A = this chain, B = another copy of it.
């Protein structure tokens, strides 16, 4: 009865450490996104553009996606994705190709230029992620049992 392992669903009041962990993680995300923004802007891209390119190149199994798929992975309205793709296309980062099996859909693909820039930027991001490591790992309460100890690290 001690180990309330069934606390999935959220019930236990959070401890000071919980709040600190939550805040620290969020801070990590902020800093990472901040780094990302500054980096990509230095290369002439907006954060949205970079994430678009990355989503294409990093799509499981292939290297292109439809508008709808992009809307899902970018967490945007498919409608906003069109605008984003238009902007990216103007900069020759991506281009549209007809979808082989569904003529309604389009394949959004990387241009050679987009590919090149993405590779550079992604390497920098990979390095930064390595560097940030601890700051971005989520709190260790994944399977955290009850803990009466309050020694701070």
Chain B contacts for A127, CB-based, 8 A: 8-10
Counting every copy of the chain, the complex holds: 2
- Interface stretch, picked from A16-24, A79-87, A92-100, A101-109, is A16-24
A92 CB → nearest B CB, Å: 17
Please measure, in the bound complex, the distance between the C-alpha atom of A117 and the C-alpha atom of B60, giving whole angstroms.
39
A130-B29 Cα distance, complex, nearest whole Å: 16
Give Cα distance in the complex from A3 to B58, angstroms. Answer: 23
Across the interface, do B3 and A57 meet the contact criterion of CB distance under 8 Å? Answer: no
Determine the distance from Cα of A8 to Cα of B126 in the docked complex, in whole angstroms. Answer: 10
Q: Flag whether A73 is at the interface (Cβ < 8 A).
A: yes
Shortest CB distance A135–B (Å): 10
For the complex, count residues of A whose C-beta is within 8 A of B.
56
Is residue A31 within 8 Å, beta carbon to beta carbon, of the partner chain? Answer: yes
Q: How far is the CB of A71 from chain B (nearest CB, A)?
A: 12
**B14, B23, B34, B133: the one within 8 Å of A55 (CB):** B23
Q: Can you name the residue of chain B whose Cβ is closest to the Cβ of A32?
A: B29
Verify A14–B123 contact, CB threshold 8 A.
Answer: yes
- Kindly list the 6 A-B residue pairs having the minimum CB-CB distance in the complex, ordered from nearest: A23-B58, A10-B123, A9-B127, A19-B58, A10-B127, A30-B75
